[in-house]
Amino acid sequence: KKLEVLTQRFKEAPKKELKTDQEEWEEHQISLALSARNASEKGDSLSGKTAYELLLDDSIDFISEDILSGQGTVEMKSSLSKDIIQKNERESLPIFPFREELLQAIAAYKVLVVVGETGSGKTTQLPQYLHEAGYTKRGKIGCTQPRRVAAMSVADRVSKEMKVKLGSEVGYSIRFEDCTCEKTVIKYMTDGMLLREFLNEPDLASYSVIIIDEAHERSLHTDILMALVKDLAREREDIKVIVSSATLNAEKFSVYFDDAPVFNIPGRRFPVDLYYTKAPEADYVDAACITVLQIHATQPAGDILVFLTGQDEIEAAVEILNERTRGLGSRLGELIICPIYSTLPSEQQAKIFDPTPPGARKVVLATNIAETSVTIDGVVYVIDPGFCKQKRYDPRAGIESLLVVPISRASAIQRAGRAGRTQPGKCFRLYTKWSYYNEMSDETSPEILRTNLSQVVLSLKSLGIDDLIHFDFLDKPPTDALIRSLEQLYALGALNDRGELTKLGRRMAELPLDPPMSKCLIASEKYGCSEEIMTICAMLSVNNSIFYRPKDKAVMADSAKAAFHRVFGGVGDHLGLLACYCQWMDSGYSTQWCYENFVQVRSMKKARDIRDQLDAMLERVEVVKCSSNDHQQIRKALVAGFFYHVACLQKNGSYRTIKNPISVHIHPSSSLFKSEKLPRWILYHELVFTSDYFVRQVTEIDSSWLLQVAPHYYREKEVEDNKKKKLPLKAQQHQK
C-alpha cells in the first residue's frame, strides 16, 4: 500500500509537543498494531510473495541529482575494538598533522577560533594536545558541550584514549551529575554547567583553558558563555580561549572576539550522492523505515544513520524495523538497530559506537545530536527526513513550546556530510529538491532568539551585569523577551525596582532551577514545608513522566494514580506527586512497589537523586529543613513561586489566565481533568501549545492566597471571586 502524499509537505509541518511516557507508550501500541495489520493484509492479498519481495514492493522512488563534493584521500580505516584505542587511530585523525601548528597558534593568541569538519578530532584531541603540552599544570581544561550526551560520551572516549578511569583525570559534569574529582584536569561539561561555575568562580581561576565547543550550535548557554569568556580574556592574562565550530561561517565568531584568528583544519570528506524524493512524504517515520530496509536489501555494506526528531519517533521506528525485519529470514544480513537520544541510559548510548560485525549492518536512529556533536564511524548511508524539534517562545504570553519544524539547509548539509567520512556515501533526503531550495531557511536561528530568558538573566545579574539591553550579545535577544524576564524576576522579588539583584535573588541564583521553582524552595521555609517542596521540585524536574498506563491495564493504572491524589484530598497534581514519592520512600524505595503502582522506576530513582542534591543545595543557601503535612501550607509555598501561573474557571468550563489573559484547558494527563467539580482557581506548572493551550501539572488554590503571597502583583479586583461578579451589570457599574 502506497503512502498518502501531501502536496505541501513543509507548510503542513506537524506540530507536536513533547510527549509523556504514557502517550509515547500508547503510540507504540498503535504503531505496533498498525504494522501488524499491514503485514497481515499484505500476507493475505499477496500470498506467495516472500517477505523479502514484499519489502522491495514497498520502496520509495528517489531521484539522484546533486553531489556533496569531497576531498577524501585516506583509505578506509578498519574499526578497532572500542576499548583498545591505539595511538595510530588518534594519529589518523584530520587534526593530527596540525598538532604543532595548533599549539603554536594557541600559545601566540589568547583567543583562537578553530574550525573543522565534524569528526576531525576537535573535541577529543584538542584537550589532550593541551594537556600533553603542559597547560594542565596551571589549571584545568574545560570543554563545553551544548548536549549532555556529547559531554558524557566524549569524556568516556577520551578517558579510554588516555587509559585512565572516567571521572579521574578525565571527567564530565552535567546538571545533577558530577563525574569529576580533585584529580580531574580535562573536564567536559554542558555549557549550562560552566555558566553555573562562573557564579561561584567569576574569574574561573581553576582553569587554564576554556574550550567553547560546538559554538555553531548557538545554544542559549553557549552564546552567554561566549560573552562572558570574551570579557574574561580581557581581564585574565594567563587564560586561553578556544572557540570551536563545525560550520564554515566562523567569520562571525572571529569578528565578535575582536578579530581573533581562525585556524582551519582541512576536512577529509568523500563525495556524497544526494537523493531526493519525487514527491513529499506524508509520514516520514514510516518512509525512513522503508528506506532503511530498501538500503539494507539493495546496497553494499555500510551502516545507516537516520535523523529523527525525538525519543517518541525513534522508539516508533525501532518497533517498525523490528517488526518488519522479523520475517526476512537469512536472506539478508542482520540489521542491528541502535537508538540514541539524550535520555537514553548511558550503557545503551555506548552501543552505537560498537563496531559492526562482518556481514551485519548497523542502523543508528538518532536525534540531531548525531548532526555534529557525536560521530559514529562506519556510516555510509544517511537518511534525512528534514525535520527537527525546536523550542519557540512567545514572550507576551510567556509560553514556551517545542515544535517539530523543517531543518535549515546548513543542517541538511551537515547531515549529508555524515555519510562521507570514511568512504564515498549516499544521503537519502525524504523531501523534494524544490523543498530544499525553496522551503528551508539558510541557517538555524540561535536559541537566544526563541527562548525564555529568566534564568539566564538572573545568572547575569548575579554576575553583576546590570545593563542587559546594552550587553554584548553575539545576537541580541528580542527586547520584549528581555523585558518580560526582568518583569518576572521583579515579581518574584529577585530584583528590586531599580532592577538590582536582591538578597533573595542572590539565593535563587545559587539553585540550578528555573526562577519560579527556586523561589518556591526558598519560600517553603516560611510555610514550614521545605522537605515537601523539595520532593515536589525533584519530581517535576524528572524529564520523563512518572506514571505509566499500559492499554491493557489502563483501569488499574488510573486507579493507582487516583489513589495518590486522594491522599491530600484530590487538590491536584503537585500533591499527587508528593504522595507518590512518600509512599515509594515508605516502601524502602522498592522496585516491586513501582511495578504494583504503575510508576516508572527509572524516573523515581532520578527524582531521588535530584532530591538529594537539592537537599545539599538548600543547606548552602541556608534554608531551614522543615516538614508539614498541611496541604494548604504546601500549596501556599507553590503559589509563592508560581503565582503568575494562575488561571480562573470560566462559564464554558475552560480557564482564563489573569495577566495578558488567554483561554486555556487542563491537560488530559492532569488528575483534575476529569474532576466532577472543576476548581475555581488553579495554579499550573507549565503552559504548552499544541492544538490549543493546555496547562500541565495543575493544583487547586484559593484566590485569597494570591493577595497574601503576591500583593505586589495582584490587585484585589483581579482575583476577587467570581461569585461577587455575578451581580447584574448595572449594580456592578454602580459599585464602581
Print the binding letters for residues 79-108 with ligand CDP: x by CB under 6 A, - otherwise. --------------x---------------
Could you tell me the CA-to-CA distances from 389 to 148, 152, 693, 731 in Å, in that order? 16, 22, 19, 52
Residues facing 665 on adjacent strands: 694
153 near ligand CDP, rule: CB under 6 A: yes
**Least Cβ distance, residue 118 to Mg ion (angstroms):** 6
Q: Which residues 6+ apart lie within 8 Å of 391 measured at CB?
A: 400, 401, 402, 447, 450, 451
With beta carbons less than 8 A apart as the criterion, state whether 538 and 607 touch. yes
**Least Cβ distance, residue 249 to ligand CDP (angstroms):** 16
Amino acid at 173: S
Query: Nearest 5 degrees, angle CA 136-CA 137-CA 140?
Result: 35
Instruction: Mark the segment that binds Mg ion (CB under 5 A) among 21-29, 69-77, 120-128, 169-177.
Output: 120-128
145 near ligand CDP, rule: CB under 6 A: no
Nearer to ligand CDP by C-beta: 375 or 535? 375
Print the binding letters for residues 124-153 with Mg ion: x by CB under 5 A, - otherwise. ------------------------------
Print the binding letters for residues 470-489 with ligand CDP: x by CB under 6 A, - otherwise. --------------------
Instruction: Mark the segment that binds ligand CDP (CB under 6 A) among 67-75, 115-123, 189-197, 623-631.
Output: 115-123
Nearer to ligand CDP by C-beta: 62 or 353? 353
Using CB under 6 A, count the residues that bind ligand CDP. Answer: 16
Q: What is the 3-state secondary structure (H, E, C) of 551-595?
A: HHHHHHHHHHHHHHHHHCCCCEHHHHHHHHHHHHHHCCCCHHHHH
From ligand CDP, Mg ion, none, interface partner of 231 (C-beta below 5 to 8 A by class): none
**Least Cβ distance, residue 514 to ligand CDP (angstroms):** 30
Instruction: Mark the segment that binds ligand CDP (CB under 6 A) among 50-58, 116-124, 638-646, 651-659.
Output: 116-124
**Least Cβ distance, residue 214 to ligand CDP (angstroms):** 8
Nearer to Mg ion by C-beta: 10 or 188? 188
Instruction: Mark the segment that binds ligand CDP (CB under 6 A) among 149-157, 513-521, 590-598, 721-729.
Output: 149-157
123 near Mg ion, rule: CB under 5 A: yes
| Angstrom distance (rounded) from CA 732 to CA 736 | 7
Q: What is the footprint of ligand CDP within residues 265-294 (CB under 6 A)?
A: none
Nearer to ligand CDP by C-beta: 123 or 173? 123
Core vs surface per residue 151-169: b (16+ CB within 10 A) or e: bbbbbbbbbbbbebebbbb
**Least Cβ distance, residue 245 to ligand CDP (angstroms):** 10
With beta carbons less than 8 A apart as the criterion, state whether 236 and 499 touch. no
From ligand CDP, Mg ion, none, interface partner of 377 (C-beta below 5 to 8 A by class): ligand CDP
Nearer to ligand CDP by C-beta: 217 or 394? 217
Neighbours of 195 (CB within 10 A): 23
The DSSP output letter for 402 is E
**Least Cβ distance, residue 381 to ligand CDP (angstroms):** 17
Nearer to Mg ion by C-beta: 123 or 462? 123
Q: What is the footprint of ligand CDP within residues 332-391 (CB under 6 A)?
A: 353, 375, 377
**Least Cβ distance, residue 367 to ligand CDP (angstroms):** 16
Q: What is the footprint of ligand CDP within residues 118-137 (CB under 6 A)?
A: 118-125
Nearer to Mg ion by C-beta: 128 or 633? 128
The DSSP annotation for 109-170 comes to -SEEEEEE-TTSSHHHHHHHHHHHTTGGGTSEEEEEESSHHHHHHHHHHHHHHTT--BTTTE
| Angstrom distance (rounded) from CA 508 to CA 496 | 14
SS3 content of the chain, % helix, strand, coil (to 5): 45, 20, 40
| Angstrom distance (rounded) from CA 531 to CA 615 | 8
Nearer to ligand CDP by C-beta: 293 or 338? 338
Q: Which residues 6+ apart lie within 8 Å of 266 measured at CB?
A: 71, 94, 116
Nearer to ligand CDP by C-beta: 120 or 597? 120
Closest CA to 727 of 735, 719, 718: 735
From Mg ion, ligand CDP, none, interface partner of 120 (C-beta below 5 to 8 A by class): ligand CDP
Tell whether the torsion through CA atoms of 631, 513, 202 and 450 is positive or negative.
negative
Nearer to ligand CDP by C-beta: 216 or 635? 216
Closest CA to 632 of 695, 575, 680: 575
**Least Cβ distance, residue 146 to Mg ion (angstroms):** 10
**Least Cβ distance, residue 422 to ligand CDP (angstroms):** 9
With beta carbons less than 8 A apart as the criterion, state whether 83 and 108 touch. no
Nearer to ligand CDP by C-beta: 245 or 541? 245
Amino acid at 261: P
Q: What is the footprint of ligand CDP within residues 697-736 (CB under 6 A)?
A: none
| Angstrom distance (rounded) from CA 416 to CA 275 | 10
With beta carbons less than 8 A apart as the criterion, state whether 239 and 270 touch. no
Nearer to Mg ion by C-beta: 169 or 371? 371
173 near Mg ion, rule: CB under 5 A: no
Nearer to ligand CDP by C-beta: 124 or 277? 124
Among 16, 99, 147, 157, binds ligand CDP (CB under 6 A): 157
| Angstrom distance (rounded) from CA 244 to CA 188 | 14
Q: How big is the chain, counted in residues?
A: 736
Instruction: Mark the segment that binds Mg ion (CB under 5 A) among 119-127, 298-306, 331-339, 606-614.
Output: 119-127
Q: Which residues bind Mg ion (CB under 5 A)?
A: 122-123
Q: Which residues bind ligand CDP (CB under 6 A)?
A: 93, 116, 118-125, 153-154, 157, 353, 375, 377
